[in-house]
Amino acid sequence: MTILVVDDEVSYRLLMKGLLTDEGHEVLLAEDGAEAMEKLNELPIDLVLSDIYMPVMDGFKLHGAIRGHQKFGKMPILFVSAYDDQHSVGVIQDPKIDAFIKKGRPFSEIKEWIGYLTAPEEERASRWPGSRQTKRL
């Protein structure tokens, strides 16, 4: 599986690349949403793992650009961010947002979300990864 990691922090991009590569994934890196869109237009990508707050094009605008593009409008997007301010929490609770995990959580949780988001919908568990609540239908 090819995963595009989008984050303005070099150290986080490299950390994710190492961890995801160790799991057998091909990993591409982008510094912001604009660079991510360039890579999405050039290469086949299976999942986007993106920060929210970045210069040039933030994660929310990237999400909108991806969802607005017929070619990859259904591509799974996992937001990973250190921010959990009221604005971010409000936006990520939108049912159009696939998933959010706070930076600093164990890598095993990111792996669970990747598995969940890339599984066919009919094969997904009835609960979100790490949740005791049944997911919304």
Q: What is the CATH number of the domain that holds 105?
A: 3.40.50.2300
- For residues 137 and 121, give the distance between their C-alpha atoms in angstroms, rounded to a whole number: 11
Q: Establish if 70 belongs to a structural domain.
A: yes
**Which helix (H) or strand (E) is 41 found in, with range?**
helix 33-42
Sign of CA dihedral 3, 113, 31, 19: negative
Q: Establish if 101 belongs to a structural domain.
A: yes
pLDDT in tens, 19-28: 999 999 999 9
Q: Establish if 25 belongs to a structural domain.
A: yes
Q: Establish if 134 belongs to a structural domain.
A: no
Q: What is the pLDDT of residue 132?
A: 39
Q: Establish if 136 belongs to a structural domain.
A: no
Q: Establish if 47 belongs to a structural domain.
A: yes
Please tell me the pTM assigned to this model.
Answer: 0.83
Q: Establish if 130 belongs to a structural domain.
A: no
Number of domains in the chain: 1
Is the Cβ–Cβ distance between 98 and 77 less than 8 Å? yes
- Conformation bin of residue 130: beta by default, left when phi > 0, alpha when psi is -120 to 50: left
Domain limits for position 95: 2-123
> To 5 degrees, how large is the angle CA 122–CA 116–CA 92?
110
Q: Establish if 129 belongs to a structural domain.
A: no
Q: What is the pLDDT of residue 58?
A: 86
Task: Report the range out of 32-36, 59-63, 83-87, 113-117 with the highest average pLDDT.
Answer: 32-36
